[in-house]
Chain A
Amino acid sequence: MIINHPLLGPRDSAEFVYLGDASLIERPDPAAETALVDFVDYAYMRENPAGSLRELWFHEAGDRSWLVVTRNTMTHEISDVQMACDVARKIGRSK
């Protein structure tokens, strides 16, 4: 698979380390009443769709940036790549 890095252009996926579902960016509020249940859900439960999935890839053998890659789990086709820091800022993280 070739991942089209927003800064570096097309790179071999073997340069990356895979973390999984991009919803891991949205860490629950540790001060919430339901924090225990929320964190169990956050740490252990996954959507696991057969189709389009947003996922986190780390460019370990490159610029060490985190990417949010939208990829089809049936065909391995990649439809979108964004910098994870941009995605996180958009939802109010990493101010």
Chain B
Amino acid sequence: MQYSGFKVIKEALTGHKGWKPAWRDPEPQSNYDIVIIGGGGHGLATAHYLAKIYGEKKIAVLEKGWIGGGNVGRNTTIVRSNYLLDGNEPFYEMSLKLWEGLEQDLNYNAMISQRGIMNLIHSDAQRDAFVRRGNAMMLNGADAEYLDLDQIKKEYPFLNFDDARFPIKGGLAQRRGGTVRHDAVAWGYARSADSHGVDIIQNCEVTGFRIENGKCLGVETSRGYIGASKVGCAVAGSSGRLMAKANMRLPIESHILQAFVSEGLKPVLPGVITFGAGHFYVSQSDKGGLVFGGDLDGYNSYAQRGNLPVVEDVCEGGMAIMPMIGRARLLRMWGGIMDMSMDGSPIIDRTHIDGLYFNGGWCYGGFKATPASGMVFAHLLAKDEPHETATAYRFDRFKTGHMIDEKGMGNQPNLH
């Protein structure tokens, strides 16, 4: 069923009796060509591109709970491609281009809003670093714009410009960045994948891999054994837990990241803002709530909830740049499990086990990468070779020294 304005009007006039479930609820078959573990944004996007672009048949997505219930439903919805390094920037720029065409591709309203993102600059050294990053972005075909103080004052007059410790000196803007309705991304990909014949199997937890003579033959699940020629893992925060079932250790730690929503306010914030001196980023949802977040709690956790010191730190960051939010009340806060890699960049690669492929290590940047991650992982699964924009996301880069360390923090996952 194609969604359209006419369809909405027709259904409105006929009592909304013609709407159908957006995807089927199939029983798992005994064998598939490709099984994707993880029914989140990345897994569903992979299935969509495998079926639509790479023409693969007999694909299943296995999800232990309900689809879109993990990090794709728990993030702060920002999309952007403002990276510095060559291993990253072309990949994230491809992602942003895919976001721009996503709604037409999926025939699904994902409420993609290119309202712009701006990184604030607080010192001369930071200006140099951000201008360099802007140049790197433009070299890779992305848009970047340096804003001086007067321009920022015009666009964001409410910021705390003359703070004694962290005065605002300028900003690096990416106008094509913005926000997306995150749940709709999972649902849109699921609906499209399903319509191309992909089986989306919910409440189906993978409990083990069947591996013989160095080859993965299939997966053991809570709904029985499922054979597969190729198995792709896209489970983000649960990567460590899942790959341990294949006796693999990863260059990844799972950490907790908290996010927050204030009560609904009138429109005050036109785009996304990030604080350059602390760690705080904020946008305003279409419902009016300020959506914001900051640093990791900093310790390994699978708890999906954080602790109070970080809440205080994030709110202090917010007050430092936007004192006007001081009277707004916090409505909700939650935590997501981040698969923090050792250099802050993802891994999309074959494993040493034949037929077993891995996609993870997204740190807290996985949401914006969803379309590109799906595209390159689909390419890897279909062609058995990395997509041209993802050649750097290898497992062995830690051994060969080809780390992609945007922040230059070294092998300390809680600092990326």
List residues of A whose CB falls within 8 A of some B CB. 1, 12-14, 18-21, 40-41, 43-50, 53, 55, 71, 73-76
Contacts and interface: CB of A to CB of B under 8 A. Distances in A.
B309 interface: yes
Contact of A45 (B250, B300, B303, B307): B250
B342 A44 contact: yes
Contacts of B252: 46, 48
Contacts of A71: 299
Interface of B: 238-241, 244, 249-254, 298-303, 307, 309, 342, 398-399, 411-414
Given A14-B309, A40-B398, A50-B241, A75 B250 contact: no
B251 A45 contact: yes
Given A20-B253, A20-B413, A44-B251, A1 B307 contact: yes
A49 B241 CA distance: 6
A50 B251 contact: no
Nearest to B308: A14
Q: Is the interface of B mostly helix, strand, loop or mixed?
A: mixed
Task: Tell me what chain A mostly uses at the interface: helix, strand, loop, or mixed.
Answer: mixed
A47 B249 contact: yes
Contacts of B299: 13, 18, 55, 71
30 contacts: A1-B307, A13-B307, A13-B309, A14-B309, A18-B414, A20-B412, A40-B399, A43-B398, A44-B251, A46-B249, A46-B252, A46-B253, A47-B244, A48-B239, A48-B241, A48-B249, A48-B250, A48-B252, A48-B254, A48-B300, A49-B244, A50-B238, A50-B254, A55-B299, A71-B299, A73-B254, A73-B301, A73-B303, A75-B303, A76-B303
Contacts of B254: 48, 50, 73
